[in-house]
Amino acid sequence: MQEKMKELTAFLQYHAKRYYVLDDPEISDYEYDMALRELQALELAYPQWKDPASPTTRVVGQVLEGFESVSHQVPMQSLNDAFSREEIMEFDERVRAALNEPYAYSVEYKIDGLSVSLEYENGLFTRGSTRGDGHVGEDVTQNLKTIGSIPLRLPDSLPYLEVRGEVFIGKENFEKMNQKREKNGEQTFANPRNAAAGSLRQLDPAVAAKRYLDIYIFNIQRVEGKEFTSHTEGLSYLAEQGFKVVPKIAAYDTADKAFERVLEIGRERDSLPFDIDGAVMKVDSLSQRERLGATSKCPRWAIAYKFPAETKKTRLKDIVLQVGRTGAMTPTAILEPVRLAGSTVGRATLHNLDYITEKDIRIGDMVYVRKAGDIIPEIIRVETQDRNGTEIPFVMPEFCPECGERLEREEGETVFRCTGGNCPAQLQRNLEHFASRDAMDIEGLGPAVIEQLLSEGLIHSAADLFALQPEKLTGLERFGEKSAQNLLDALEKAKTQDLSKLLFALGIRLNGQRSSRLLAKAFGSMDALMEQNEESLMAIHEIGEKTAHNVFEYFQNPRNRELIERLKAAGVNMLHQESEDATDRLAGKKFVVTGSFDALSRQELTALIEKNGGMVSGSVSKKTDYLVAGEAAGSKLAKAQELAIPVLGLDELLAMIEE
Question: Any idea which residues carry the catalytic annotation?
Answer: 110
Per-position DSSP letters for 52-77, written without gaps between them = TT-GGGGS--PPPS-PPEEE-SS---
- For 136, half-sphere exposure in the C-beta direction (CA atoms, 13 angstrom radius) is 9
Residues 6 or more apart from 202 whose CB is under 8 A from it?
Answer: 143, 208
Residues 6 or more apart from 266 whose CB is under 8 A from it?
Answer: 279, 307
Report how far residue 319's alpha carbon sits from residue 396's, in angstroms, rounded to the nearest whole number. 10
Which residues, in sequence order, are bridge partners of residue 223? 161
Burial class (CB in 10 A: 0-12, 13-18, 19+), 655: exposed
Which residues, in sequence order, are bridge partners of residue 175? none
- Identify the H or E element spanning 411: none
DSSP state, 184? T
Q: Measuring CA to CA, how many Å separate 573 from each of 190, 211, 489, 559, 610? A: 33, 37, 16, 19, 21
Collapsing DSSP to helix, strand or coil, 571 comes out as coil
Helices assigned H by DSSP within 184-331:
192-200, 205-209, 231-240, 255-268, 286-292
DSSP state, 570? T
CB atoms within 10 A of CB 48: 6
Report how far residue 221's alpha carbon sits from residue 117's, in angstroms, rounded to the nearest whole number. 8
Q: In degrees, to the nearest 5, what angle opens at C-alpha 483 toward C-alphas 209 and 181?
A: 45
- Taking alpha carbons only, the member of 372, 373, 382 closest to residue 335 is 382
Report how far residue 365's alpha carbon sits from residue 117's, in angstroms, rounded to the nearest whole number. 47
Report how far residue 3's alpha carbon sits from residue 171's, in angstroms, rounded to the nearest whole number. 40
CA terminus-to-terminus distance, the chain: 61
CB atoms within 10 A of CB 187: 11
The residue type found at 610 is E
- For β-strands 590-594 and 615-617, DSSP reports them as parallel
